[in-house]
Chains A and B, each alone.
Chain A
Amino acid sequence: MADLYQIEDLRLSLADMTAKPLFGAAPRLEILKGLSFTIPKGAVVGIVGGSGSGKSTLGRALVRLLEPSGGAIRFDGTDITHLPEPALRPLRRRMQMIFQDPMSSLNPRHRVGTIIAEPLRLHGFDAIPDRVARALDHVGLPQSFAARYPHELSGGQRQRVGIARAIALEPDFILADEIVSGLDVSSQAQVLNLLERLVAELGLTLAFISHDLSVIRRLCQRTIVLYRGEIVEDRPTADLFADPQAAYTRELLDAIPLPDPAQAWA
Chain B
Amino acid sequence: MAEAKAIDGRSMVRRRAGLRLWLSAGWLGLLCIAALLAPWIAPKDPLAQDLFLGRMPPVWVMGAEPGYWLGTDSLGRDVLSRIIHGARIALMVALIAGTITCVIGATLGLLAGFLRGWVDLVISRLIDIWMAFPPVLFSILLIAVLGPGLWSIIIAIVVIDWTRFARVVRAEAMAQGAMDYVASARVAGRGRLGTMLREILPNVLPTIVVLLTLEMGIAVIVEAILSFVNLSISTDQPTWGGMISEGRASVHQAWWVLVFPLITLFLTVLSFSQLGEGLKDRFDPVLR
What is A's interface to B at a CB cutoff of 8 Å? 60, 63, 65, 85-86, 89-90, 92-93, 95-97, 99-101, 104-110, 118-119, 122-123, 142, 144, 148-149, 151-154, 157, 165, 169
Could you tell me the distance between the alpha carbons of A99 and B186 in the complex, rounded to whole angstroms?
Answer: 13
* B286–A108 CB distance below 8 A: yes
B36 within 8 A of A: no
A-B contact count (CB 8 A): 84
* B181–A107 CB distance below 8 A: yes
Contacts of B198 in A (CB 8 A): 118
* B10–A151 CB distance below 8 A: yes
B188 within 8 A of A: yes
* A105–B181 CB distance below 8 A: yes
Contacts of B179 in A (CB 8 A): 104-105
Q: Which residues of chain B from 178 to 192 have a CB within 8 Å of any chain A CB?
A: 179-181, 183-191
| Chain A residue at minimum C-beta to C-beta distance from B2 | A142
* A109–B187 CB distance below 8 A: no
| Chain B residue at minimum C-beta to C-beta distance from A110 | B202
B4 within 8 A of A: yes
Contacts known (A65-B186, A119-B188); A109 close to B203, Cβ less than 8 A: yes
- The binding surface of chain B is classed by DSSP as helix
What is B's interface to A at a CB cutoff of 8 Å? 1, 3-4, 7-8, 10-11, 179-181, 183-191, 194, 198-199, 202-203, 205, 285-286
* A105–B10 CB distance below 8 A: no
Min CB distance B91 to A, Å, is 30
Q: List 22 A-B contacts (CB under 8 A).
A: A60-B183, A63-B187, A86-B191, A92-B188, A93-B189, A99-B180, A99-B184, A100-B180, A105-B181, A107-B185, A108-B285, A118-B185, A118-B188, A119-B190, A142-B1, A142-B4, A148-B11, A149-B285, A151-B285, A153-B7, A154-B8, A157-B7
Contacts of A101 in B (CB 8 A): 180
Among B1, B7, B180, B286, contact of A109 (Cβ-Cβ < 8 Å): B286
Could you tell me the distance between the alpha carbons of A13 and B188 in the complex, rounded to whole angstroms?
Answer: 25
